[in-house]
C-alpha cells in the first residue's frame, strides 16, 4: 500500500508539454484526499484543464507520475480508470433518452435491467429530475441537461468524479443553484471530486480545498478561507477577490511583522516569506479591511487619503482614493452609517491592522515553487 494513508489522487512531479518546448504543466505535485472536493482554479490557459485531462487519461504526462489509490495509472486507458466525468458541454448522447444515457455506463458494467432501473431512479432522484427518463436531451433545458450529466457521472457509483467547468454554459442564477446542489450531493455521497473552474465564487462555494493555477504551476493549495485571507503569492492575492497591491521596500523586520516604506510612508505588514531590510515587496490589503477615520489604538497603520470617487452599491460604499500619489486605492465601507457620511473630495485618514496587510513577493520576481 502507499504510505500516504488515504490519498486518493496524487500528482508527482508531473510535466506536460504538447510541442516539446513549452510546458503547459510544470512540476506539478498535488495530493487529493479521499472524499475531498478539490477545485483547480485559474485563468484560462493556466494548465488546470490539462491536469484534469491527464487524470482522466485523455492526455499523457510528459514526465512524472499520476497515481490513483496509490497505483500509477500511466498505462490505464480512460475507460478502465473508473471515474465519472462531467463535461462543460454536457456531452449527453443526443440519440439516447435520459434513461438511455444513464443506463449506458451500467450496461457496460453488466448490470441486469432490474439493478439498472433502481440505480437510474435513485440517480435521477438525487438530481431532482424524477420522471424525465423518457425525454431526449434536446428536450431539456440547459440546467436539466447538466443535472442529467451529473447523474450519469454518478450513477455507476465511482469514487472519483472529475468536473470540467460543468457550469460554464449556464446563466448566473442556475449556476449558483447548481453549485449548492453539487456540494450537497458530494457531501452526501462522500465521493472525491476534482473540479476545474475559472470562477472563484464557484470554487469558494463548493471546495474543501482550492488549488490556484497560473502558467502551469500551482501557486497555492489551501481551503477557500485561507486562499482568501492568507494568500501566499501576489498572483493569488490579485486573482482571488479584490486587493490593493502596493509596491514597497522593507526597512526593518520584527518577528512576523516587517516595516515597509510605500511612497514615503512607513507601514507595518505581516511577512509571508523571510525577508531582510532592503528587499522589495508587494503589500496586499483587502479593500474591506481598510478603515476610514480609524481608531489609532487598533489600526496602527495610518495614512492620509483623499476620496476621488464614490459609488453607492447598496450594502456597501466603494471608494477610490488617492493615497500618497497613487489614485487606485480601493476601500469598501459597509453601509452602516448611511449614505452621506463621506463625500467625494473629502480628505480622510485611513488605516488597517498589520495582520491584514500581507507582504508578498514584488512584481517581476519568478516565484519559488511551494
Partner 1 sequence: MDGTLKTVRLRAAVPVLPLVAFILVTFIAPLATMLVRSVYDPLVAGAMPETLFLLSEWDGKSIPREAVFEAAVRELLGARQARNLGRVVTRINRVQPGMRSVIMKSVRKLRRISGSDSWRDTLIDMDPAWGKAQTWQAIRRTGERFTMRHYLHALDLDRGPGGGIVRQKPERRIYMPLLGRTLAVSLSITALCLLLGYPVAYLIAHAPHRWTNLLLLLVLVPFWTSLLVRTTSWIVLLQTRGVINDALVALGLIAEENRIAMIYNMTGTVVAMTHVLLPFMVLPLYSVMRTIPPLYMNAAATLGASFPRAFWRVYWPQTQPGVFAGSLLVFILAIGYYITPELVGGRSGQLISNMIAYHMQQSLNWGLAAALSGILLLCVFVIYLIYDRVVGIERMKLG
Residues that bind partner 1 (CB under 8 A): 56-58, 77-85, 87, 89, 91, 93-95, 104-105, 108-109, 152-153, 156, 162
Compute the least distance from the CB of residue 138 to partner 1, in Å.
Answer: 13
Compute the least distance from the CB of residue 134 to partner 1, in Å.
Answer: 18
Q: Tell me whether residue 86 or residue 307 sits nearer to partner 1 (CB atom).
A: 86
Give the contacts of 336 (CB within 8 A, at least 6 positions apart): none
Q: Tell me whether residue 2 or residue 115 sits nearer to partner 1 (CB atom).
A: 115
In which order are the strands placed within the sheet that holds 23-33?
Answer: 23-33, 7-17, 63-68, 71-72
Compute the least distance from the CB of residue 11 to partner 1, in Å.
Answer: 19
β 192-197/37-41 pair status: parallel
**Does an H or E element contain 33, and which?**
strand 23-33
C-alpha span between 45 and 238 (Å, rounded): 17
C-alpha span between 127 and 148 (Å, rounded): 7
Cross-strand bridge partners of residue 164:
196
Q: Tell me whether residue 12 or residue 87 sits nearer to partner 1 (CB atom).
A: 87
Q: Tell me whether residue 33 or residue 104 sits nearer to partner 1 (CB atom).
A: 104
Q: What's the grid cell of residue 112? A: 441486469
Compute the least distance from the CB of residue 156 to partner 1, in Å.
Answer: 7
Q: Tell me whether residue 193 or residue 310 sits nearer to partner 1 (CB atom).
A: 193
C-alpha span between 339 and 333 (Å, rounded): 11
Compute the least distance from the CB of residue 268 to partner 1, in Å.
Answer: 52
Q: Tell me whether residue 90 or residue 352 sits nearer to partner 1 (CB atom).
A: 90
Give the contacts of 239 (CB within 8 A, at least 6 positions apart): 41, 42, 43, 200, 212, 214
Angle between helical axes of 98-108 and 113-126 (0-180°, round to 10): 130
Compute the least distance from the CB of residue 292 to partner 1, in Å.
Answer: 52
Amino acid at each position: 500500500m502507499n504510505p500516504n494513508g488515504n490519498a486518493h489522487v496524487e500528482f508527482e512531479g508531473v510535466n506536460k508539454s504538447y510541442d516539446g518546448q513549452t510546458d503547459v504543466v510544470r512540476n506539478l505535485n498535488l495530493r487529493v484526499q479521499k472524499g475531498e472536493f478539490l477545485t483547480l482554479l485559474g485563468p484560462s490557459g493556466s494548465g488546470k484543464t490539462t491536469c484534469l485531462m491527464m487524470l482522466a487519461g485523455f492526455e499523457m504526462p510528459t514526465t512524472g507520475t499520476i497515481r490513483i489509490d496509490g497505483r500509477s495509472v500511466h498505462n490505464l486507458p480512460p475507460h478502465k480508470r473508473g471515474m465519472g466525468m462531467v463535461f462543460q458541454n454536457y456531452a449527453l448522447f443526443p440519440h439516447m433518452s435520459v434513461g438511455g444515457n444513464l443506463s449506458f455506463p451500467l450496461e457496460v458494467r453488466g448490470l441486469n435491467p432490474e439493478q439498472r432501473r433502481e440505480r437510474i431512479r435513485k440517480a435521477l432522484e438525487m438530481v431532482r429530475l424524477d420522471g424525465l427518463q423518457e425525454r431526449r436531451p434536446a428536450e431539456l433545458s440547459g440546467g436539466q441537461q447538466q443535472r442529467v450529466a451529473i447523474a450519469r457521472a454518478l450513477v455507476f457509483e465511482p469514487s472519483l468524479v472529475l468536473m470540467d467547468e460543468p457550469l460554464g454554459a449556464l446563466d448566473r442564477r442556475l449556476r449558483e443553484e447548481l453549485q449548492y446542489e453539487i456540494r450537497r450531493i458530494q457531501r452526501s455521497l462522500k465521493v472525491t471530486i476534482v473540479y476545474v473552474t475559472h470562477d472563484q465564487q464557484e470554487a469558494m462555494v463548493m471546495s474543501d480545498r482550492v488549488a490556484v493555477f497560473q502558467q502551469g504551476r500551482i501557486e497555492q493549495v489551501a481551503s477557500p478561507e485561507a486562499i482568501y485571507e492568507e494568500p501566499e503569492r501576489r498572483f493569488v492575492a490579485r486573482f482571488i477577490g479584490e486587493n490593493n497591491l502596493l509596491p514597497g521596500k522593507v526597512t526593518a523586520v520584527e518577528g512576523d511583522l516587517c516595516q515597509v516604506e510605500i511612497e514615503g510612508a512607513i507601514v507595518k505588514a505581516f511577512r509571508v516569506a523571510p525577508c531582510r531590510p532592503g528587499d522589495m515587496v508587494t503589500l496586499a490589503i483587502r479593500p474591506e479591511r481598510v478603515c476610514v477615520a480609524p481608531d489609532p489604538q487598533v489600526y496602527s497603520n495610518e495614512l492620509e487619503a483623499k476620496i476621488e470617487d464614490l459609488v453607492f452599491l447598496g450594502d456597501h460604499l466603494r471608494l477610490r482614493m488617492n493615497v500618497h500619489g497613487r489614485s487606485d486605492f480601493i476601500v469598501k465601507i459597509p453601509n452602516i452609517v448611511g449614505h452621506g457620511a463621506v463625500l467625494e473630495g473629502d480628505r480622510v485618514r485611513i488605516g488597517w491592522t498589520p495582520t491584514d496587510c500581507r507582504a508578498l513577493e514584488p512584481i517581476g520576481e519568478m516565484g519559488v515553487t511551494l
